[in-house]
Amino acid sequence: MNFKKTILLVVIAVALFFSIGVEGKSAAASHILVKSEQQALDLKKKINDGAEFSEMARQHSSCPSKAKGGSLGTFGPGQMVREFNDAVFNPSNKVGEVIGPVKTQFGYHLILVTDRKD
């Protein structure tokens, strides 16, 4: 095998490692990012009372992901800021339940984990 092919295979392996996550762990999640804790709590109440998470994200989130209903896609451990990562990969936070508000350097997040592989 020539050097270029070897380098290409290494790059692909590293990319797969980070896209799948450490030790095969991964999660898919959506979020709503707002400036205040109170705004996050108000939105969480609306969602718990039956409002659609994705619609609340489209209307209220300050993140560009709002165009996709807050969807961040699939990611592995360590790819998001620590507080967000810890909330998503905490096994006591159940898939399908709204987590938060979670405060990060960007503001306050409501997080909906839609899939998690341990």
The reported pLDDT for the residue numbered 112 is 98
Q: Which residues pair with residue 86 across a beta bridge?
A: none
Spatial neighbors of 77 by CB under 8 A, at least 6 apart, are 21, 22, 25, 85, 89
| HSE-up (13 A, CA, CB side) for residue 15 | 6
Whether 14 has a pLDDT exceeding 70, the answer reads no
The reported pLDDT for the residue numbered 81 is 96
Distance CA 106, CA 75 (A): 18
Give residue 51's Cα distance to chain centre.
20
Whether 12 has a pLDDT exceeding 70, the answer reads no
**CATH number, residue 93:** 3.10.50.40
Question: In the numeric block, which tokens belong to residue 85?
Answer: 């990562």
Whether 39 has a pLDDT exceeding 90, the answer reads yes
The reported pLDDT for the residue numbered 21 is 47
In the chain, the number of structural domains is: 1
Read off the pLDDT of residues 41-99 as tens digits, 9 standing for 90 and up.
Answer: 999 999 999 999 999 999 999 999 999 999 999 999 999 999 999 999 999 999 999 99
> Containing domain of residue 61, as a range?
3-117
